[in-house]
Structure formats: C-alpha cells, structure tokens
Chain A
Amino acid sequence: MGRQQQIDRYVRGHMDSGEREAFEQELATDQALMQKVQATREALLLLRTAAVQRVALAELEKHYKGVPYDIPVTPLRPERTRRLAFWSAAASCIALLLYFSLAPVHLTPIEDDLLLIRGTETTAGTSSIYALLLEGQEALQNKNYLGAAQRFESVLRADDLRDYYRQAAQWHLVLAYRHSGQPRKARIVMRELSDQDHQEYPIDFIERWKLYVQVYAFGWLP
C-alpha cells in the first residue's frame, strides 16, 4: 500500500485500532510524514468548509426566495434624525432642570468641633454660638425655616468665626431663605459665598447646583 493511500485511510478514519496506533507511532517520529498528514488535513478542512458554505448559500437562497423578502431599506431621513436628536437633548435638559429644581438639597452635617473661634478655647460665648448653629440645623430638619434663618443670622453676627462654620452657616442660611420664601436674601448670601476663594465647608457638586438652580431660576417655587 502506497504512503498516500495510508494517509488517506488514516484521515478518513478507515484504519482499525492496531493499524492506527502503529501509524501514529510512525507519525511521532517521521517529520516528513507528519507534514504530509497535516497538509492533507488542511486540504480536507478547506474542502469541508467550502461544502458547508455551499449548503449555507443554498439555504440562504431558498430563504430569500421562499419568503417574499423585501428588506425595508428605507434610509433614515436626516431631518428626522436631527429632530429626534434635538428633542432628546431638550427632554434631557428639562429632566435635569426638573431634578435640580425639585430634588431636596442635602447639606453636609456640621462637624462636632467646639473650636468655633480661631485660636481660642471653648468659652460660654462660643458654645452658645455652636448651640445656635446646631439648633438652626435642627430647625431646618424640622422644616421650621424662619426659625432656622434667625439662628443662622445670629451665628453669622459673631466676630472671627472660623471659615468652616461661617460657610456652613451661610449654606444653611441659603437653604432656610429658599424655603421660607426669601429668594432675594438667599441670592445675596449665595453671592457672598461665591466671592470666597477657599471653601472650607465641603458641599457636594450636585447639591451646590441644586441650590443654585433653586435660588436663581426657581426661587419663586415653594
């Protein structure tokens, strides 16, 4: 039996187990034979793939013929696409604006630090300011906005207040003014806050924008 015939029998799976084992042993040692088998395998892979592709093409043709197949290739009209993009953008802006104007503002709770006044230890005076600050914060939580505003105004009257507490009181005061229907005052305090170079009191970016929108654009809202 010729070598090629042997290879054929091997790749077609026609060898019995003994013959196959012997051939595989030979394959392991004979590099040239291995290359021939490999080349035959690759050729058969091409043959098989081409056969599969032909079957697929025949099926595809049947599929296209069998069904009254008309692909709706109506191109999207550019003006329609533009209009769609415009309205999507507009809807997103409105949704964002609504969120900013209606969502409640959450300010960072004031730190529990009794050194309100720079460089001095706690005294009766400073502790009363601190108490006012906390009372204001509590009043805000209880929706007593006028009471909260009064307390924060009192806090801000104190001299040499640390920046952190001054700014905390100012942000809370803005919120109190905004809810007690005093947008003009809220805007004044807001302007003072934006004039300051360094922000000691941390306020979240989103919360800050909520306050801006609520005070400047929708100050008339309850």
Chain B
Amino acid sequence: MQLYTNRELIRDLKDPHRADIASRYLMQCSPNVFDLARRYRLSGDDAKDLFQDAMLAFIERVAGDRFDPEGSASAAVYLYGIAFHLLKKRYNRRMKQEEWEREFAETYLVTEKIVQNYDNRLTAHALLDQLGSPCQELLTAYYLNDREIEDLSKDYEEVAIGTLQQRIRRCMQKLKTYSKKWADNNR
C-alpha cells in the first residue's frame, strides 16, 4: 500500500478536487473487505456493495471529524471496522426479516419500510440527490468550484445576476433542510 498519512488522507477526503487519489488509496483496502464478505458468504455483487457503503460511510466520518488521525486505528483498519459493523447489522437485519416474513407477513411490510429508511439515511450523496441536479450544479459551481456569479450568469445563458442569486438562495435554503436531516441522522 502506498504511503499516505492519516492527516493527508483526511485533507484529501474533505476536498472534492483531490478526493480521487484518496479514493484510489482507500480502494487498496478492498481485498480485506472482500475476504470478510466471503466469510459471511456474500455474493460478489453484495461484497462490492459492502465495500462501497463502507467507503461512503468512512468519507462521512472523515467529514464529521470522527476519524482521529492520531488514534490507534489506521484508515485501513477503520474502514474494515465500518465494513464489519455494516455487515453485522445487515446480517442481523436479514435474519430478523426472514423470521418476521415467516411469522408475520404484515409486520414485514412495515419493517421493509424501516429498512429502506435506514439505507437512505446513510449517505450524503443519496440525500443530496433529492435536491435535484440544477440546484446541485449551481451550488457546486458557486460554493465548491468558487465560480463568480458573473461567470455563472454567462454559463446560464445570460440569466440576470439577481435572478441567479435568488436561485442560489432558494437552493441553499433547501440544502439547509437536508443538512439538518443529515446532521440529525449522523448524531
């Protein structure tokens, strides 16, 4: 595995412009997660999903400053731990589901909904998808790519600056409601 200190990894995982290298670094941990998945008899696709979810969860923990770079666990170990907990949760849930399916078909429908909610709450990007792509693009360009409003106005077929500012404000309001939800979920 290439050399990458925890601090460098955290720095890059907080910056969308550098996240590609950091993600590739994290991918080197995938064989361990696949081994784990194999032990739990997961299919190849499920193993890939597990690694993906573990990686996304790791990124969220880094964003929330919950991964301590000076802590005892390396990024690889931390990621493996997340994958293990996800796997255990899913395994237990599947067992419960199967049990309920056998015994109470009606209850199963309710639990399925709960399970879906649980899955939806996991990732920031899934939450942000609900914002709609025009808003996402606008906010990304303005806040993350640091584009000036005048430049953006040209990109948006000469929309008046005032109108664009209005749009950004509305999108930001929506984003704030999602971020509140996200913060509540991660608390």
Question: Do the two shown chains form a genuine complex with each other?
Answer: yes
Binding site for B on A (CB under 8 A): 4-5, 11-12, 39-40, 42-60, 63-64, 70-76
Q: Chain A residues near B183 (CB, 8 Å)?
A: 42
Interchain residue pairs with CB less than 8 A apart (27): A39-B176, A40-B176, A42-B179, A43-B176, A45-B63, A46-B179, A48-B15, A49-B124, A49-B125, A50-B124, A51-B144, A52-B13, A52-B14, A52-B16, A53-B60, A55-B16, A55-B20, A56-B19, A56-B22, A56-B23, A57-B56, A60-B27, A63-B24, A71-B34, A71-B38, A71-B44, A73-B38
Q: Chain A residues near B144 (CB, 8 Å)?
A: 47-48, 51
Identify the closest chain A residue to B21 (Cβ).
A59
Neighbour of A49 across the interface among B41, B60, B139, B180, CB < 8 A = B60
Q: How big is the B interface, by class?
A: 35 or more
Is B42 a contact of A53 with CB atoms below 8 Å? no
Shortest beta-carbon distance from B42 to chain A in Å? 6
What is the predominant secondary structure among interface residues of chain A facing chain B? helix
Encoded as 1 (CB less than 8 Å from any A CB) or 0, chain B from 2 to 38 comes to 0000000000011110011011101100000010011
Shortest beta-carbon distance from B174 to chain A in Å? 9
B169 lies within 8 A of chain A by Cβ: yes
Is A51 a contact of B55 with CB atoms below 8 Å? no
Is B44 a contact of A46 with CB atoms below 8 Å? no
B76 lies within 8 A of chain A by Cβ: no
Binding site for A on B (CB under 8 A): 13-16, 19-20, 22-24, 26-27, 34, 37-39, 41-44, 47-48, 51-52, 55-56, 59-60, 63, 123-125, 127-128, 136, 139-140, 143-144, 146, 165, 169, 172, 175-176, 178-180, 182-183
Shortest beta-carbon distance from A95 to chain B in Å? 26
Give CA–CA (A49, B26) in the complex, Å: 16
Shortest beta-carbon distance from B15 to chain A in Å? 7
The list of the 8 closest CB pairs from A to B, nearest first, reads A51-B16, A56-B23, A50-B128, A49-B63, A55-B19, A53-B125, A59-B23, A50-B125
